[in-house]
Amino acid sequence: MFSQPRGYVWHYTAASHLPAIAQSGGLHPSCTQLNPVDAARAILWFSRQQQWEPSVPRPEIHVRQSHGGRSLRLEPGLYRFGLPQGDLRLLPWPAITRVADLEVPEAMTMVSGGLRHGATPTDWLGTLSAVPLADLRFQAWDGHAWVDADLHAAELASRRASKDDQAAAARRAPPVLALASHDVF
């Protein structure tokens, strides 16, 4: 049985975000969906939830057949970055909203949206500063439990899967025929 790390808060994410995270060298604050252009309100969110933060949309789980079609393998592509819960960069909800100068209606919209998805806003913590990868613990969901993982390997797998998905979509797309000049009326 895997032992769960204690004393961490988590930033949950999907495989599709790993290439950008790896390239940037860390996690960076981002603006809220309600106000995507106001950099003064950019927050990097963490959660005390130890399995999954309910307010974070879960990506679809893909099932792929192995070569020969004999067995199915679950590739959920769920990841999390852990930061010690006592890290001085972290501020709890709602203090982080005041420091980030979030408007009260925007903060309340976040709360109501989170509650609708089963979240507990008092589990939320945030920081206004970037957190380098060296300061973070990286884990992957293996279908049963969170396990320590190699970010570089996961990021490469994510890039490979993205290219495979793009190639498959291109194979499914109908061919595009160029019109000769005499075909145009």
Q: What is the pLDDT of residues 132-158, one digit of tens each?
A: 999 999 999 998 899 999 999 999 888
- The C-alpha atoms of residue 46 and residue 131 are separated, in whole angstroms, by 11
**Element housing 31 (H / E):** none
- Backbone dihedral region of 89: left (phi > 0), alpha (psi from -120 to 50 degrees) or beta? alpha
Euclidean distance between CA atoms 24 and 32, whole angstroms: 19
pLDDT in tens, 21-73: 999 999 999 865 554 555 557 899 999 999 999 888 877 555 455 555 544 44
DSSP 3-state of 21 = helix
CA distance 64 to 76: 10
Measured distance CA(112)–CA(153) in Å, rounded: 37
The one-character DSSP state at 131 is E
Q: Are 121 and 114 in contact (CB under 8 A)?
A: yes
* Residues belonging to the chain: 185
Residue 115 has pLDDT above 70, yes or no: yes
